[in-house]
A and B are shown apart, each in its own frame.
Chain A
């Protein structure tokens, strides 16, 4: 025990707690007669989490957060706390949960190293707009700034990677601050929020008047006002277009606007392509879904970006992995950009008509104003490019017939088993690009990946969270041999919590994506990308997780089937060809039209 102060905390008697629960359910009128009950800051925090509908907390205790953990001891029935093996695992699990459930992910960590271990996940959630509320313990307020044991300046360290953060030093602030935290995390463009609570505030008793959710902050406008004129202008542009092209991103999913989006696409008849975070918002096999954008996206969507006359971007942010060389990106096109975040408009690509607002509201308004059309010739062009890509790349990747196994055929065969209904969680690298390209997704919130930050080590913990967020669905984590070894300690979390996630390691014995770049751009100078791995199946076995390794084509299907049918978690290692490259590829510094097939 690094500090001996936790004996100061006494858990509230049962009866008192029931009473708090009751008042927490009610809307508390702001009157003098408001009933209050004396509780500690820690109890107020847990009551606030319950009032916000928290189902699961991913966390790790330590000295500065001990009062909260002590209070949690009495809340075991009401709050499901999952003990992770590393705080980075905790926050990625929170992200996975948020991505599949659409709710706010909750993460606990202690001060100092506990809090700094959250940074990668915060940065990831920030850039991928994932709603999180992270609670960190902090040293006693009177010790702030004294280099106390496990003191770090968490607020300043996390400022660039949080949508909002706040340090609580007085327990009376807790109900209001937590309600603001949830409101900010999930409203507008979602993002991670961190609340740092000093130990004295966790212990301090105060008169708790119940929990009131926040629905307005004076200085914060989650959604810009919708301007009808712009919707009209956008509709006019779309109605006059000959070769319109829709690009959609995660905004459609975050805005829960999948239905509205589908209606728009179907009425407009416009071919539509997705960013990797937008994948699944309409099904993979929807006739107007023409594929994936970006560096390893499909051939047609990339080339034809530079041929369309009107580009309609919906809830996406023109990341450089999507645009390639910006000064040669869609220069011929007029651009309509729908986004909830006004700072995204004109950030990378100059917009002709900006449509600020929540796409759940702007899309139906736009759909109403557009004509019902079809673009057979234009869509035929996409088909032509698809055929070229199938011939040059896809056939060899999905149906190699002979030689070593490929990543693509593993994903292709997985599709046959999942039928497109599973949640696919991916790590970062070649396997990620292959999984995003080829995984069949029938439903929204089926693709969980680290898009903006490209965080290796994301998939295993995110899959744990994804399963908690969608317990009725199959969750398959597709991970590289490299990335798996960044957070494999979370096998312990899987073991202890007994959850069911399928782990598919695509082992090419390389840091494949880096190797690919070294092959293509550094004249085969393979500098520190050769990766020796442990016996993954034995490793899984050490955690009581069933597993298998497969390297023969004749065994692949049966092994995948065994994994999917297995009751409980299962690790399947697929030994794939060592030096395959992911194509097509838009090399860095090239325009999307310069995409290479080999």
Chain B
């Protein structure tokens, strides 16, 4: 479990991005989810998908909690047999995006030039254009995709959906090298790092 953020954080709640690398195993999603639900902690966003490495899955989980709670959660997750590695990061430590789709009536869009401008200003792209409706797509932070809902509401927004968050960790070297350490019986140096020893820059890992 890792925390790349070593600057002192206030003890209050904030958004944390938990990144989990796992084996691809039935039932693991439940095993991870109940670590949160048992403690009555709400998962704000959860994305799971195959990673860049064959057979390894990557979870992105967002919670609004204190660092102390997130550290304990991360340790519990990492304890699961099929979990390879857990990192947790604040929003400042990651680049993150959410994808949103908006379905609006085509006739209104076609009629009002202002709509087209608004969409362009908000970085929206048309994905599908049909006679009856058009689907636009944007990616961005929550506030950005939220803002476009407000903008499109007066123009007859029919349907909206947003994906879970995906996040890339700014300071990581990816997982390929680490995986090789896991495949050998002996873990590498970095794996045995820990926070008490290294208050410096390195990724904290158990």
Contact = CB atoms under 8 A, between A and B. Distances in A.
Interface string A201-229: 00000000000000011111100110101
Chief secondary structure at chain A's binding surface: mixed
B84 A218 contact: yes
Given A220-B81, A343-B72, A159 B30 contact: yes
B27 A165 contact: yes
A342 interface: yes
B22 interface: yes
Interface stretch (B43-51, B121-129, B191-199): B191-199
Contact of A354 (B72, B83, B182, B196): B196
B27 A159 contact: yes
Contacts of B197: 227, 229-230
B185 A216 contact: yes
A535 B112 CA distance: 90
Interface in B171-206: 182-183, 185, 187, 191-192, 194, 196-197, 206
B14 interface: no
B206 A160 contact: no
Given A160-B38, A225-B187, A343-B75, A155 B82 contact: no
B20 to A, nearest CB: 11
Contact of A184 (B38, B81, B182, B191): B81
A261 interface: no
A341 interface: yes
A347 B72 contact: yes
A16 B84 CA distance: 41
A356 interface: yes
A163 interface: yes
B180 to A, nearest CB: 11
A224 B78 CA distance: 12
Q: How large is the interface on B (under 10, 10 to 19, 20 to 34, 35 or more residues)?
A: 20 to 34
A152 to B, nearest CB: 15
Nearest to B189: A225
A218 B21 CA distance: 12
A329 interface: no
Given A218-B183, A341-B79, A227 B192 contact: yes
A554 interface: no
Given A159-B31, A227-B197, A218 B79 contact: no
B182 A227 contact: no
Nearest to A165: B27
A341 B72 CA distance: 12
Interface of A: 155-156, 159-160, 163-167, 184, 216-221, 224-225, 227, 229-230, 341-343, 346-347, 353-354, 356
Given A219-B81, A347-B75, 6 more contacts: A159-B31, A166-B27, A227-B192, A229-B197, A343-B75, A354-B196
27 contacts: A155-B27, A156-B27, A159-B34, A160-B38, A163-B81, A165-B27, A166-B27, A167-B27, A184-B81, A218-B84, A218-B183, A219-B82, A219-B83, A219-B182, A220-B81, A221-B187, A224-B206, A225-B192, A230-B196, A341-B79, A342-B78, A342-B206, A343-B72, A346-B72, A347-B75, A353-B196, A356-B206
